[in-house]
Amino acid sequence: MINVGIIGAGRIGKVHGESIMRYVKNATVKAIADPFMSEETKQWANDLGINEIYTDYHKILEDDDIKAVLICSSTDTHSTISLEAIAAGKNVFCEKPIDHDVNKILEVKKALENSNVKYQVGFNRRFDHNFKGARAAVEAGKIGDLNILKICSRDPAAPPVSYIKVSGGIFLDMTIHDFDMVRFMSGAEVTEVFAYGAVLVDPAIGEAGDIDTAVISMKLSNGAIAVIDNCRRASYGYDQRVEAFGSLGQVAISNDTDSSAVISDKDGVHAEKPLLFFLERYMGAYVAEVTEFIDSIENDKPVSVDIECGLQPVLIGLAAKKSLETGCPVKVADIAAEYGI
């Protein structure tokens, strides 16, 4: 049994706490820490069987019985805590993004070169049953050579403007998952990015210096073309779809719904709306990604979502941001070169 410590007891920290204590075999949450620990959160932790509750996460890093930490704190702390955890010899699962600053991600990468710890980045969509099925079809050559990859990702409602202001912008906050999906689904790297963007949902988002609607086209290293469309608002629910089109056919995935029941009557054909939010859609994926992380520790196997998987979507996101600002295509290699990569 591997003892785990969770740093950050917000929404995602609670998701991981519950998934580990209820569904992940061979792991248990020994301690959880959050500087803003409330009585309500303490009760939640106690109800799950987590009895070591701190406001200072360093107590987790100092505990020799804890072999792995999950970094679920605010984004601006991810790289700092990663470095401290690596130095303490803890295996690390870090929620995305590692940082918005590429130099800080490179610091973490450098620290890992001199360490034997496992480091996994929390891009949970790779572990979703739908995306995994589509990727398996592409990888097995069932659609032939990939020609076009289309990803649709739309949230049911925009987050508060207070969040938008600290999010790093739509490309590093929302689209970063889709950039990772492009790499995962295609098995290739993004070489060039062209981005369009608009403010069509909430003028306050534009006033905060961001956009809420975007279309991004990309050239891939295998010669294929990828397209992502994003919007912060989909009135009908959480819209997450993918289509991979190739020389021999195509594979597509639809949204998950509460049921697959379809009612046909004189007024038309009626089906369920997509699930409302990401926690409903991806709960199984959260369990699966941590299960793989624990397995990699137990059996000394490499993680499938490593530091490079954390770095590349940020570089792509910065290329998209520059493209939006300049109105021109941007090569990802040019962004990487700015950081000596």
Which 3 state secondary structure label does DSSP give 195?
Answer: strand
Residue 255 makes CB contacts below 8 A (sequence gap 6+) with 237, 238, 239, 240, 241, 274, 275, 281
Cα–Cα distance list, 335 to 222, 266, 312 (Å): 20, 56, 11
Show me where the domains of the chain are located. Answer: 2-117, 126-277+312-337
Q: Which residues of the chain have pLDDT under 50?
A: none
| Best CATH choice for the domain 126-277+312-337 from the list 3.30.2230.10, 3.20.20.190, 2.60.260.20, 3.30.360.10 | 3.30.360.10
Superfamily for the 2-117 domain? NAD(P)-binding Rossmann-like Domain (3.40.50.720)
Cis-peptide into 97, omega within 30 deg: yes
Quote the pLDDT of residue 282: 80
DSSP 67-99: -EEEE-S-GGGHHHHHHHHHHTT-EEEEESPS-
CA-nearest of 87, 109, 105 to 96 is 105
Quote the pLDDT of residue 93: 98
Quote the pLDDT of residue 193: 98
Quote the pLDDT of residue 278: 61
Quote the pLDDT of residue 277: 58
Quote the pLDDT of residue 279: 61
Quote the pLDDT of residue 272: 82
Could you give the count of Cα atoms lying within 13 Å of 215 in the half-sphere of its Cβ? 4
Which 3 state secondary structure label does DSSP give 263?
Answer: strand
Quote the pLDDT of residue 338: 98
